[in-house]
Amino acid sequence: MKTKKYFNSMRWLAIAAIICTLVILTVMMVESAMPGDKSLSQSSKCTDSLQEYAGDSFDRPVSTDPVRRIFVNAMHGYTGYKKKVSFSCVPTEHRPTEYTYTVADTSVAEVDKSGYVTFNKVGHTLITVSVKDDPSIYGREYIYNYGTDPDNITSATPNYTTVKECQIITGFRLLDQDGNYVDSNAFDITQENDCVRFNGVWLTGMKVGKCAVTFSPKGHPDRQFTYEFETVPDPTAVRATGLTLTTNEITVNKYDQFNVNAYVKKENISPAGANSYSFVGSIHNPSGKTVLSSVSGEVKYAASEGTATVTIVDNIANQAKADLIVHVVVPPPTILQVSGYSQAQLNYKYSYTAEGDYCTIEDVTWSVVKGKAKISQSGVLSDAHLGTVVIRATYNADPSIYADLAIEVKLFTSFGSFIRKALGHFMLFVVIGFGLAASFFFLIKPRLASLPATLVSGFIFSLFSETLQLPVFTTGRMFAWSDVIVDFCGSLVGMAAAYIVIAIVLLSFRLSKRRSRLFTALSAISAKTLFKKAPAFAPSLDGSAPALSDDPASPVTGVAADDQPDEYPDAQTSDE
């Protein structure tokens, strides 16, 4: 019976529409709940391949404040490693600044123009990061190459096992199975007593005597290499027992670095004639706040405002020691700049900072001096209207020092945001809207009732998609009513496209010679019959095609009427 064939074809089409819609809705929920950093990474990959076609149609939201200071982080690694240098700058926000990278000793490490460092051999060297257009603005820090990766070390032989009392050997290494030098920092070291001390490339004779020292490559405690080390007497060695600093209290600016040895003079070490050794300083920060941090044993970094104590001690006997009180302050600014994006996207939040001469200033009052927007006292801009918004940071200690930043609020601030909205929101919901319209058209009778059901469900899913982006469900994302509107508009377009296709199909049914069979088959599809056995269709009186009847008692019955049974086991078929 051809009518049954038409029914089965339409039913499978309806099932396919429902399954595809459910799959797309699942994708939508997964994408909506994806953390912001992963979502941004996905869109970045897409925009990278499409950006060249867009040209300069979209501006990028970047800060234009010039870089005034650069702070480079120390790097540690093993031969063969490749890492990108990490640094921060003032102002702190991202900006379209180009940097140059140089390394003092390229035999230890090399750096490419993108800032990726390749570790060549054991040793340490300096890396410098500078502003390309102004090399006088730079930051510098050490690269420490510890040699062979611990994972690849199967044997280790020290190049020195004997040291004099109070002697510091600065070229201490171990040789791996291939004869390559390895820094002691590549090992976990245990020893019987403290007759010697290891500190990177330094081997220090502490107390006269012998001790067994075991070296285990980091992460591999099962590999142990044990050797006997000895500190021999040195009659000329005079141990320091006392230390007086040139000053016991200093004040440094936030982000500054200082060397503890700058406050140690040979004549201040007792007894007179004592050997002058390298001094190191242990930091005592206030509870719960890192005021100072250590770059190396001698160099300290002012991390945040406050007061800390550095205990300076000689690097051998640990007997000559003194305390240095360090006050870290944020100097009052002579200038002030607002750092942050000069373009903002509608209904999004942006953070701004006030930058002084060379560091962030927190003692400011934020305000909006032009346009419609809100800004919190932590510098977070929100509820900005389309157009130009001007925000101001005023230094509380001196209100005559302030800075303004004009922000252009746009619907799309970048090609990436356009792609996320057009593809990640609008186009996805075009497909969802199309699927919802097609699915409800097949499931609901009368067919016109599918229209309000489709509209309501489209709005609910648009709202649900944004609700999943609340911090309760994911991270790094936010709820925006503008995105709900974009999603719903996309679903409306998809619904309209679906109903246009349905109208064309129905028109083709009407023009077909088999329109009675087609309409009868279509009329038989609903939520009740979709997943059941195909019903048997009764023939018309003249045997040409199934007839539609509004009279349930009529001898000519079809399944077009809503109150007809789903199956007709006794019906006769005569389509052939």
What is the pLDDT confidence band of residue 276, given thresholds at 50, 70 and 90? low
Do both 385 and 449 map to the same domain?
no
**215 and 251 together in one domain:** no
Question: Is residue 557 over pLDDT 60?
Answer: no
Type and span of the H or E element at 503: helix 481-511
Q: What are phi and psi of 180, to 5 degrees?
A: -90, 145
Strand partners, 291: none
CA atoms of 111 and 122, how far apart (whole Å): 16
The per-residue pLDDT for range 340-355, each reduced to its tens digit, is 888 887 777 888 989 8
Q: Using CA atoms, how far apart are residues 397 and 339, in angstroms rounded to an integer?
A: 20
Most confident of 106-120, 286-300, 486-500: 106-120
Domain hosting residue 112, numbered range: 69-145
Helix (H, G, I), strand (E, B) or coil at 186: helix
Contact predicate 35/476, CB 8 Å: yes
The confidence score (pLDDT) of residue 230 equals: 96
Residues 557 and 467 in one domain: yes
User: Does residue 39 surpass a pLDDT of 60?
Assistant: no
Residue of 76 and 348 predicted with greater confidence? 76
Q: Is residue 344 part of a domain?
A: yes
Do residues 321 and 312 touch, judged by C-beta distance below 8 A? yes
H or E segment at 259? strand 257-259
DSSP assignment of 304-329: SSEEEEEEEEETTTS-SEEEEEEEEE
E strand or H helix at 51? helix 36-54
Number of domains forming the structure of the chain? 5
Asked, for residue 367, whether it belongs to a domain, the answer is: yes
Q: Are residues 283 and 401 in the same domain?
A: no
Pairwise CA distance, residues 443 & 355, whole Å: 61
Q: Based on the fold, state whether residues 367 and 464 are members of the same structural domain.
A: no
Q: Are residues 401 and 453 in the same domain?
A: no
If asked whether residues 477 and 561 sit together in one domain, one would say: yes
472 and 530 co-located in one domain: yes
State pLDDT tens for residues 169-189: 989 999 999 999 999 999 999
> In this prediction, what percent of the chain has a pLDDT beyond 90?
33
pLDDT (tens digit per residue) in 424-464: 567 778 888 888 888 888 788 787 888 888 888 888 888 88
User: What's the DSSP call for residue 524?
Assistant: H
**Under DSSP, is residue 23 helix (H, G, I), strand (E, B) or coil?**
helix
466 and 542: one domain? yes
Report yes or no on whether pTM surpasses 0.85.
no
Angle, CA of 442, 444 and 447, to the nearest 5°: 80
176, 191 contact by CB (below 8 A): no
Enumerate residues 6+ apart whose C-beta is below 8 A from 282: 310, 311, 313
Structural domain contains residue 237: no
| DSSP category for residue 159 | S
**What CATH number does residue 355 fall under?**
2.60.40.1080
Of 179, 202, 232, the residue at which a domain comes to its end is 232
Of 185, 198, 188, residue with least CA distance to 219: 188
In a domain, 46, yes or no: yes
Regarding whether 434 and 405 lie in a shared domain, the answer is: no
- Using left for φ > 0, alpha for ψ between -120 and 50, and beta otherwise, residue 357 falls in alpha
